[in-house]
A and B are shown apart, each in its own frame.
Chain A
Amino acid sequence: MGAATAAVVLVLGATGASAEQGPAPVQSQARAFSVGGMLVSYDSDAVSSRGDDDPQRSFVASADLSKLGVGLSTGALTAEARGHQAQTTVADLKLLTVLQMQNVRTWCNGADGGSAGLDFTRGSLLGKTFAVPASHQELGNSTLIKVELDTVTRDKGSISAKGVVITLLGGNDPARTLTPTEKELGKGLAGLLGAPAKAQNATTVGSLLGALGVSAGAPGDPVLQVTVGAVSCALEDAPAKDEPTTTAVPTTDEDEPVAPATPVTLQTAPTPEVVPYRLGVTG
């Protein structure tokens, strides 16, 4: 079939986080991200390129993550891809006490025009529960750290989804004091990346960015992005290609800069037509 799908359980990627501090455009490059000299890279992707007869699956136990010094507590991670379908699962996602989700599944299916999404059985951010969103949703209400759920994008030949994306945004005044929410989110982000304690104790934007080793960046641009669950599926009716049409492994030096994802755009619902009808209402 020439179909191709790819799934990545955990993607830790820096988006243009230049080693040089300064106002360099953060989308000018992308490279693997490191903290304290630790290159975070997992052999946890699954790529299927020969249709339904080429099921691929990878599995990462939580113990493997802890060995790498990543402060992400999970039950287990799986990545599966087969033909035009792919999914990742995380049994129990705990980002310290900040973000907790259970049975997180990010999936896509290239059949029937393509569909993709995120589901989970329980989610809470800073102790506040949230439900499975109907579509893309942002949490956190911060100009510094953005938590996004269910980011679905599609192009001519594929549909992709990112389950949970935590983005550190640029352009914030370094001297600004972190809000309580940002402080907690910052702790979580630092913990996820195995950052030193000073990052977890940061009280200003500048001290947090410095501890994480990233630049201030331009306003609104992502200077650091962590993705849990990224999948991409070729559409079944798309022209067959010799090479996999999609990948979702932004952990190499050749990665394109990660632009803010655009949720699937829906058409506006129609204006209602007034119809003759008989219904007694409550006056």
Chain B
Amino acid sequence: MSGVANHTLPRPPRTRARRTSRAVLVGWASLGVITLLAAILGIGLLVGGAPSPVRPGGGSATLAAPAVDVASLPESTTWTSVDGAPTDPAPEGLTDGRVVHPVRDTVVHDAPDGRPIARMPAKQIGDTWLPVIAQQGSWMQVLLPSRPDASTGWLPAADVESAATPYRIAVHLKSRTLDLFQDGTRLARWTVGIGKPSAPTPTGRTFLLGAFSDDQQKYSPVILPLGTHSPTHDTFGGGPGTVAIHTWPTSDVFGTATSDGCVRVPADALKRLAQVPLGTLVSIDNA
């Protein structure tokens, strides 16, 4: 049986009718799982209302979560660093386009039913949208916007709104091009500027984190920050070294490696990319 015993159907929520069948359920489930759920339930009844109230095992009914001092957890934003976050297992991989938006501040775990490692705010630069890279039961693994780069975390499905983006953005550093795909079909390709050798644009998969305007940064009317950071700049321009897509006042930068990590795109590209949903995957490779 190996690990199968741990996949026994979870207990239903503790309604009056269902409590009557508890003895049957004990026989149904493995002793270890029941014990764990009972502990979670017991604690949860005392601290009800905590975020991420999702039980293990793939169900979607809710149980109160273990006591977690949410305020003590670091936020996962472009400004922060989160310790203990799993690294993206497939940084060159694609996704199926699913993105999620936390409907409330949500606890990020290091594994399904795992240890709380961070708090994901529902809003950071506008609404927070994150790409889903895997799902296990009622848990979704997402890319995080915080450092270190390529960090991931698990969110309970009950705490997020799911949607799909048909788009994907691919940045090719060697050819200094950016492709926009929709449903797997390339819609456009632009020649772009990338990071210089001393401050390279990081490779791997990341995502569109937001769309904002900043009157202190007049080189681009709209800036599209990504969920990744410069590997060489801990801070830059007052920010945490966030890599972004934006335009540039002069066209001579396109096709060059002269930025400090950002991807500089022509104005028409920016206009098009600013319409792409947040959470959309951005693949950066050395091709």
Which A residues are closer than 8 A to B by beta carbons? Answer: 51-53, 55, 57, 75-76, 78, 80, 82-87, 89-92, 102-103, 105, 107, 109, 111-115, 117, 119, 121, 131-137, 266-283
A83 touches B217 (CB 8 A): no
Which B residues are closer than 8 A to A by beta carbons? Answer: 1-4, 7-10, 12-13, 17-18, 20-21, 24-25, 28, 57-62, 78, 89-90, 93, 95-96, 98-99, 101, 125-127, 129, 132-138, 140, 157-158, 162-166, 195, 199, 208, 210-217, 219, 222-223, 225, 230, 233, 235-239, 241-244, 246, 259-262, 274-280
B166 touches A268 (CB 8 A): yes
The secondary-structure label for the interface of chain B is loop
Q: Which residues of B contact A276 (CB under 8 A)?
A: 212-215
| CA distance in complex: A258, B129 (Å) | 36
Q: Which residues of B contact A133 (CB under 8 A)?
A: 96, 134-135
| CA distance in complex: A281, B227 (Å) | 12
| CA distance in complex: A273, B101 (Å) | 14
Select one of B96, B140, B246 contacting A281, CB under 8 A.
Answer: B246
A80 touches B28 (CB 8 A): yes
Select one of B18, B28, B98, B275 contacting A135, CB under 8 A.
Answer: B98
Q: Which residues of B contact A102 (CB under 8 A)?
A: 2-3
Q: Which residues of A contact B260 (CB under 8 A)?
A: 282-283
The secondary-structure label for the interface of chain A is mixed
| CA distance in complex: A89, B7 (Å) | 8
B60 touches A115 (CB 8 A): yes
B134 touches A266 (CB 8 A): no
Taking the nearest CB of chain A, how far is it from the CB of B253, in angstroms? 10
Contact flag A273-B195 (CB < 8 Å), given A55-B24, A57-B28, A282-B241:
no
| CA distance in complex: A119, B133 (Å) | 13
A267 touches B59 (CB 8 A): no
Select one of A132, A268, A269 contacting B135, CB under 8 A.
Answer: A132
Q: Which residues of B contact A119 (CB under 8 A)?
A: 58, 135-137
Taking the nearest CB of chain A, how far is it from the CB of B123, in angstroms? 9
| CA distance in complex: A229, B56 (Å) | 20
